[in-house]
């Protein structure tokens, strides 16, 4: 106290704290009616072991049921999410197939126009080239071109040709 007058403090016992009286109490708070077993003048805890075991088992059952319910809800939520993801994937796949179908139909029409046009052309070399491009464009024939390779029908013709026009610069960072 002489060296450090503020180092020793009085014990701060709150008004609602109960001093230890030598009697034990076991509480089961999660159980619906907050059961407890304690030492009394009429009997000690060692005499109430069967009651304690029964309360522990009741507590275990209630905790287990809550856990099983949580797991069931989680499993249900995951299944619902998986179902939604499968449905969204199915819809997206169908959209992709329809887009490809429309592209193929458009390319078929364009190939037929090119063939009609090639029938009218008098220049033989240009006519052969136009018929080769019509065969490359037509999805029913689908010939590979020497320069353009095989046609990807997932993209529109304009997009596909624009992608082919893009030449990557080897110095482009």
User: In which band, very low, low, confident or very high, does the pLDDT at 167 lie, cut at 50, 70 and 90?
Assistant: low
Domain ranges of the chain: 25-156
158 or 127: which carries more pLDDT confidence?
127
Name the residue among 108, 95, 81 with its Cα closest to residue 154: 95
User: What is the C-alpha separation between 118 and 127, in angstroms, rounded?
Assistant: 5
Can you tell me whether residue 152 is helix, strand or coil?
coil
| 53-84 pLDDT per residue, tens | 888 888 888 889 999 999 999 999 999 999 99
Can you tell me whether residue 92 is helix, strand or coil?
helix
């Amino acid at each position: 106290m002489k060296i450090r007058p503020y180092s020793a403090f009085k014990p701060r016992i709150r008004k609602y704290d109960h001093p230890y009286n030598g009697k034990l109490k076991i509480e089961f708070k999660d159980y619906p009616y907050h059961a407890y077993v304690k030492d009394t003048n009429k009997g000690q805890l060692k005499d109430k072991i069967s009651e304690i075991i029964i309360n522990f088992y009741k507590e275990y059952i209630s905790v287990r049921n809550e856990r099983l319910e949580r797991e069931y809800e989680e499993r249900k939520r995951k299944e619902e999410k998986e179902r939604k993801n499968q449905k969204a994937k199915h819809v997206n796949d169908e959209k992709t197939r329809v887009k490809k179908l429309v592209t193929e139909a458009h390319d078929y029409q364009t190939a037929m126009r090119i063939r009609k046009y090639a029938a009218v052309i008098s220049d033989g070399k240009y006519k052969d080239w136009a018929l080769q491009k019509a065969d490359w464009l037509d999805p029913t024939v689908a010939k590979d071109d020497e320069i353009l390779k095989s046609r990807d029908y997932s993209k529109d013709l304009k997009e596909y040709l624009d992608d082919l026009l893009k030449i990557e610069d080897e110095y482009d960072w």
